[in-house]
A and B are shown apart, each in its own frame.
Chain A
Amino acid sequence: MNRKPQPYDDIPARPCSTPSARAGLSPQQFLYSLMSAANRKEFLAGEHAYLMTFPMSEDQRQAVMKRDWNTLLELGGVSYALAKLAFTDEHSYQYMAAEMTGMTQQEYMDMMIGGGRSVEGWRSRKERGEA
């Protein structure tokens, strides 16, 4: 696909763009299906079999099974939709957000009470030494 590089391509975890929306459509359909108790039960009883009924990539399926939130973001997942997976595990949004940032939930809470995320730190792949 010929696509002009965009300035925001350098932001980790793929902000909403046409490529990320395309990549994320199937994972989002899976996550959306978790809005029914019967589907959550079926998913938890056999995760890979359930995921096979969605036209996702195997990388996306493995990331779901590992609850690898940041990889899921890279592969097109959207946090509002990913929250449904955390809720299926009976975890809070805060638990998921803490895992995404590599903190414990308590550390995350302390950060938020202390005024939120510091402006210090990397904000792009380039700053993170990847680009």
Chain B
Amino acid sequence: MARIIAGVGTSHTPAIGAAVDNGKTAEPYWAPLFKGYEPAKKWMADVKPDVVIMVYNDHVNAFDFKIIPTFAIGCADEYTIADEGWGPRPVPPVKAIPNSPRTSCSRWCSTSSTSPSSTRCRSTTA
């Protein structure tokens, strides 16, 4: 039986990732925000959780408004980084834990997935 040790939350504007990528975290505008992460980073380094369950807002990156589920569980082996309009962020793809027990959804989910970003989705709905 797993033991849940914490829930950790953060603001999630797209600009935060861009600030990291563009080396702006020490600038006066951003420094207070990134300073705020330090205690949580230290705490996570100390406790080293075995598994992190990440809950996040899709920001129109996997779902394009034709279908917007309130919650969806990803069960692919890997998720590539979305291209939000400036190219994918230089961070690694999100991978499932190797040989982990899969959720029951994996029985009917594809075992691999790519970002839909390369697909040109054009609605025929007027």
Contacts and interface: CB of A to CB of B under 8 A. Distances in A.
Interface in B1-35: 13-15, 18, 28-29
A63 interface: no
Contacts of A109: 29
Main secondary structure of the interface of A (DSSP, over half): helix
B60 A78 contact: yes
Interface residues of A, number: 34
B122 A37 contact: no
A34 B120 contact: no
Interface string A59-87: 00000000000000000001011011111
Main secondary structure of the interface of B (DSSP, over half): loop
Contact of A84 (B57, B85, B116): B85
B60 A84 contact: yes
Contacts of B60: 28, 31-32, 78, 80-81, 84
Contact of B13 (A25, A39, A81, A93): A93
B59 interface: yes
Interface of B: 13-15, 18, 28-29, 57, 59-61, 64-66, 82-87, 115-126
24 contacts: A21-B65, A25-B65, A29-B66, A29-B121, A29-B123, A31-B60, A32-B60, A33-B120, A35-B82, A35-B83, A35-B117, A36-B117, A36-B118, A53-B122, A80-B57, A80-B59, A80-B60, A81-B60, A83-B59, A83-B84, A87-B84, A90-B86, A93-B15, A113-B29
